[in-house]
């Protein structure tokens, strides 16, 4: 049986090697042939199209005979319920089962039929993951507001300035929308970023 491994962490300080090694060990026990491994360091809240290795994996499985995609846990596939379900739907259409190791569940059975119970569990798990992400975001926002009210200052130290190339790389989503003709207000809404940030990026790409 031919499989591919997908591993992801959210930040550069984290390491995906543990995920990959555990899935390789599992594959050895099951006599699976690991055809390729896709690893990336990127936020799970990004859309599928914004995640290079995920897109590379999807293109790979479309053009190669793959039986399963192995993932350490569902949140590694993503934290956005809609994006995760889109990926699973694509796998289902290509008769490729998704195996999630920490829950020991698969999306398809040996007859390429959808495992209804796993589909139900996946929808619950991704929804919970997305809810947790939003709660963390709200706690951070609340913490910042409380800090400011007590006289604290949030942000970069005075005199610190990032170079333009770094800023443009960090805000590719803003660059993409502005180049497509979206207004500053609409770009702010779609990216959930401040007016100051969007205006700054706008000035950079108009130079």
Could you state, in order of their start, the residue ranges of all structural domains in the chain?
2-127, 164-206
Please check the confidence at residue 44 and state whether its pLDDT lies above 90: no
User: What local confidence, expressed as pLDDT, does residue 154 receive?
Assistant: 55
Please check the confidence at residue 190 and state whether its pLDDT lies above 50: yes
- Compute the average pLDDT of residues 60-68: 92
Please check the confidence at residue 5 and state whether its pLDDT lies above 80: yes
**Size of the chain, expressed as the number of residues it contains:** 207
Q: Which DSSP symbol is given to 155?
A: S
Please check the confidence at residue 129 and state whether its pLDDT lies above 90: no
Please check the confidence at residue 24 and state whether its pLDDT lies above 60: yes
Please check the confidence at residue 197 and state whether its pLDDT lies above 60: yes
- Compute the average pLDDT of residues 34-61: 90
pTM greater than 0.75: no
- Compute the average pLDDT of residues 88-102: 90
The mean pLDDT value of the chain amounts to: 83
Considering only residues 188 and 133, tell me which one the structure prediction assigns the higher pLDDT: 188
User: What local confidence, expressed as pLDDT, does residue 160 receive?
Assistant: 41
Considering only residues 112 and 140, tell me which one the structure prediction assigns the higher pLDDT: 112
Residue appearing with tokens 């020991």: 104
User: What local confidence, expressed as pLDDT, does residue 159 receive?
Assistant: 46
- The beta-carbon contacts of 8-11 under 8 Å, at least 24 apart in sequence, are 8/39, 8/40, 8/41, 8/42, 8/44, 8/51, 8/53, 8/54, 8/76, 8/77, 9/41, 10/41, 10/42, 10/43, 10/44, 11/41
Fold (topology level) of 2-127: Rossmann fold (3.40.50)
Highest mean pLDDT among 6-20, 75-89, 113-127, 152-166: 6-20
- The H or E element containing residue 178 is helix 172-179
Considering only residues 116 and 132, tell me which one the structure prediction assigns the higher pLDDT: 116
CA–centroid distance for 166 within its chain: 21
pLDDT band at 37 (very low <50, low <70, confident <90, very high): very high
For a pLDDT cut of 70, what percent of the chain falls above it? Answer: 86
């Amino acid at each position: 049986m031919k499989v591919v491994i997908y591993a992801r962490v959210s930040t550069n300080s984290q390491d995906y090697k543990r995920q990959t090694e555990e899935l390789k060990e599992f594959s050895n026990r099951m006599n699976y042939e690991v055809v390729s491994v896709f690893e990336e360091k990127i936020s799970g809240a990004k859309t599928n199209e914004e995640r290079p290795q995920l897109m590379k994996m999807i293109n790979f499985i479309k053009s190669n005979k793959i039986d399963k995609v192995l993932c350490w846990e569902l949140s590694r596939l993503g934290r956005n319920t809609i994006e995760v379900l889109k990926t699973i739907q694509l796998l289902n259409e290509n008769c490729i089962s998704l195996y999630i190791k920490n829950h020991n569940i698969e999306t398809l059975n040996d007859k390429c039929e959808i495992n209804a119970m796993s589909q139900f569990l996946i929808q619950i798990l991704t929804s919970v993951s997305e809810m947790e992400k939003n709660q963390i975001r709200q706690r951070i926002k609340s913490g910042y507001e409380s800090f400011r009210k007590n006289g604290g200052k949030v942000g970069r130290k005075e005199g610190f300035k990032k170079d333009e190339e770094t800023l443009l790389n960090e805000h590719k989503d803003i660059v993409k929308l502005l180049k497509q003709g979206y207004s500053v207000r609409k770009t702010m809404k779609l990216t959930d970023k401040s007016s100051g940030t969007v205006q700054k990026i706008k000035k950079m790409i108009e130079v």
